[in-house]
Amino acid sequence: MGRRRTASARRHAARSPAHLPRPGCCGQSRRRDHARLGATADHPRPRPLYRRRRDSGARSCPRLDRRQRALIRLAIRCTAPICWTSVINNGTSVTRPAPVTVQEDLRRDHDLLCTAVREAGAIALDFFQRGPRHWDKQPGDPVSEGDLAVDSHLRERLGEARPGYGWLSEEGADNEARLSAEKVWVVDPIDGTRSFIAGRPMFAVSVALVENGRPIAGAIYNPAKDEFFDAIAGGGARFNGATCRVRATADTKAAALLSSDSETRRNLWQSRFPEAEIVSINAIAYKLGLVAAGLYDGVIALKPKSDWDIAAGELLVAEAGGVMTTAEGGAFAYNGRDVIHPSVVAAAPALVERLLARLAD
């Protein structure tokens, strides 16, 4: 039988509630406990302790009951990874990080995306300020050296950080490997190339991360106006770092609607919505960001759009409390074989209903 406890230990045990750790289980090393206390009928030899390792040093913790351990496991899953070291009987130790949750993984992707888009915006702004060289990929479809430089930077930055993700860009060759990728970057290096070439500050870098056909993170950045829009699925939308919401406008009489120069010239909206204010901007992703930020009421576009034009914008509008559909009320799915969508209508839910009803007449 081991030695009897000291008088000091007996007094401490008598004063301590039953649920608190026994003497020697907190703030003292396991070896010292064994040497001093030994093993008795009412105080068995302590079990292995568990220590939480921070950036430097380690400290001993009291033994926890089952409920406390369950709460700690739940907290670990909801916070950043922490390294835990368990001290084993033979003196060896095993260190392993707490598992990364899906939400943590998404936030890391979102942070990476936002950083890359800001960097790309700085590149675009440099070309914009000095006037980029440009040419037509095909008649009526211009591209500039700024588009290609931004695309190259984003592909390198995002591709190196997430080599397993797919890639779909307006300025890159399509690769069907993206169809089997779990997650895909959908990129418009410069949305609004015509404005960019003409020296008008109505353009933006637009990037979305798509999973299972739906955008889960997105950012749109107009560096010429320093306007940054970002969103994460389930985490809301932000405009220059502040949470934003779509306007709650429900009546077309009070609505300011965004369209394009070509559709305005064709008098598509003045005849259908004579009571509304129609504003022309030739950059669909940027327009969706403006609606998500509550700066305009809605967007209408009957000209077909591609995945890279609208994926990030749809997430922004949805997370800001709005709705985006086709002119027929259809939903969008991204990263399919066909990346073209027939039309876009985006606004607060009540206004979208009014717009769709008028478009159906």
Report yes or no: 253 and 233 within 8 Å, Cβ to Cβ. Answer: no
pTM, to two decimals: 0.73
Residue 261 confidence (pLDDT): 87
- pLDDT value at 341 more than 90: yes
What CA–CA distance (Å, rounded) separates 81 from 78?
9
- pLDDT value at 308 more than 90: yes
228-264, pLDDT tens digit by residue?
A: 999 999 999 999 999 999 999 999 998 999 999 888 7
- Nearest residue to 306 (alpha-carbon basis) of 339, 343, 346: 339
Residue 80 confidence (pLDDT): 37
- pLDDT value at 301 more than 90: yes
Residue 239 confidence (pLDDT): 98
Share of the chain above pLDDT 90, in %: 64
- pLDDT value at 122 more than 90: yes
The burial class, CB within 10 Å (0-12 / 13-18 / 19+), for 222 is buried
Q: Which parts of 187-306 fold into alpha helices (H)?
A: 193-198, 261-265, 268-272, 284-292
Report yes or no: 283 and 203 within 8 Å, Cβ to Cβ. Answer: yes
More confident residue, 199 or 52: 199
Q: How confident is the model at residue 75 (pLDDT cuts 50, 70, 90)?
A: very low
Read off the pLDDT of each residue in 46-75 and give the average, rounded to a whole number.
45
Report yes or no: 287 and 258 within 8 Å, Cβ to Cβ. Answer: yes
Residue 272 confidence (pLDDT): 86
Residue 53 confidence (pLDDT): 41
Question: Which range among 14-23, 131-140, 166-175 shows the weakest confidence by mean pLDDT?
Answer: 14-23
Residues sharing a CB contact under 8 Å with residue 248, sequence separation 6 or more, in sequence order? 348, 350
What CA–CA distance (Å, rounded) separates 281 from 194?
11
| Tokens read off for 163 | 């080599």
Residue 15 confidence (pLDDT): 47
Read off the pLDDT of each residue in 267-288 and give the average, rounded to a whole number.
90
Domains parsed from the chain with CATH numbers:
7-97 (no CATH), 102-360 (3.30.540.10)
Q: How confident is the model at residue 280 (pLDDT cuts 50, 70, 90)?
A: very high
Residue 10 confidence (pLDDT): 52
147-185, pLDDT tens digit by residue?
A: 999 999 999 999 999 999 999 999 998 989 999 999 999
